[in-house]
Structure 1
Amino acid sequence: MSPASIFKNIVPKLALTSPMLMNAIFMISGQCILRFDPYFPTRPYDYHERLLQSLIPYIAEKGQIEDEATLVAAILLRNFEDFHAGTQGQSHLSTFELFYGPEGWVFDMSSPVVQAALILHVHTEVSQALLNQPTLRINYENFILPALISPIDEVSWGNRILWLTARILQWAQKSVRTMAEWQYLHSLVDEWERRRPASFDAFFYQEGNPHAVGGGYPELWFSGACHGESN
Structure 2
Amino acid sequence: MCDALKHFTFEVPQRARSNITLFNAIMALSARHLSRTSSFNTFVADRYYQTCLQTLIPALNDSVAINDESLLAATIILRLLEELNIPITGDDPRSHLFGTHAILRAVQRRYDLNPVDTSFRQAIYWAAFRQELWISLMTQRPFQLHIFEADRSIEPANDSTWADRTIAHVGDVIHFAFGEGKHSISRFNRLMEENESWRKRRPDSFVEFFYRRDRDGSGRNFPDIRCHADAHVMGRQYNILARVLLVVHNPTIPQLGPAHKKAKMEVDIQVQEDVRTLVGVALSNERAFPASLVACFAIALVGDRFTNRQDQSQLREMLIKTETRHGWPTKAARSQLEEVWEWNGH
TM-score bracket, shorter-length normalisation = 0.7 to 0.9
2:207 aligned residue (184, 201, 207): 201
1:226 to 1:40, Cα distance in 2 relative to 1, 3 A = farther
1:20–1:51: 8 Å Cα contact kept in structure 2? Answer: yes
Of 40-49 and 154-163, more deviation after overlay is shown by 40-49
Q: How does 1:6-45 map to 2 (within 5 A)?
A: 6-39=7-40, 43-45=44-46
Q: For 2:209 and 2:32, how far apart are their aligned partners in 1?
A: 31
Match of 1:162 in 2: 167
1:202 to 1:35, Cα distance in 2 relative to 1, 3 A = farther
Q: For 1:32 and 1:107, how far apart are their aligned partners in 2?
A: 36
1:64–1:98: 8 Å Cα contact kept in structure 2? Answer: no
Query: Percent of pairs identical after alignment?
Result: 21
| 1:100 aligned onto 2:108 | yes
1:126-185 deviations in Å (ceiling 9; x for gaps): 122223212311359xx7245x54562222211110110111111222334422222221
2:224 aligned residue (210, 213, 219): 219
Match of 1:132 in 2: 139
The AA in structure 1 aligned to 2:108 is: Y
Post-superposition offset of 1:4:
1.8
The AA in structure 1 aligned to 2:212 is: Q
Q: For 1:131 and 1:181, how far apart are their aligned partners in 2?
A: 23
Higher alpha-carbon Rg = 2
Higher helix share: 2
SS of 2:225's equivalent in the other structure is strand
The AA in structure 2 aligned to 1:72 is: A
1:98–1:106: 8 Å Cα contact kept in structure 2? Answer: no
TM-score normalized with structure 1 length: 0.82
2:97 aligned residue (90, 101, 113): 90
Of 203-212 and 175-184, more deviation after overlay is shown by 203-212
1:135–1:173: 8 Å Cα contact kept in structure 2? Answer: yes
1:99–1:106: 8 Å Cα contact kept in structure 2? Answer: no
Q: For 1:132 and 1:178, how far apart are their aligned partners in 2?
A: 21
Post-superposition offset of 1:221:
2.4
Q: Which runs of 5+ in 1 are unaligned?
A: none
2:3–2:160: 8 Å Cα contact kept in structure 1? Answer: yes
Post-superposition offset of 1:60:
3.0
1:108–1:114: 8 Å Cα contact kept in structure 2? Answer: no
1:12-43 deviations in Å (ceiling 9; x for gaps): 22222211111112222223334443347992
TM-score normalized with structure 2 length: 0.57
The RMSD of aligned alpha carbons is 3.0
Match of 1:110 in 2: 117
1:96-153 deviations in Å (ceiling 9; x for gaps): 324223x76376542111111111111112122223212311359xx7245x545622
Q: How does 1:174-213 map to 2 (within 5 A)?
A: 174-176=179-181, 177-208=183-214
1:113 to 1:209, Cα distance in 2 relative to 1, 3 A = closer
Q: Which runs of 5+ in 2 are unaligned?
A: 237-346
1:40 to 1:203, Cα distance in 2 relative to 1, 3 A = farther
SS of 1:23's equivalent in the other structure is helix
Q: For 1:129 and 1:138, how far apart are their aligned partners in 2?
A: 10
The AA in structure 2 aligned to 1:230 is: G
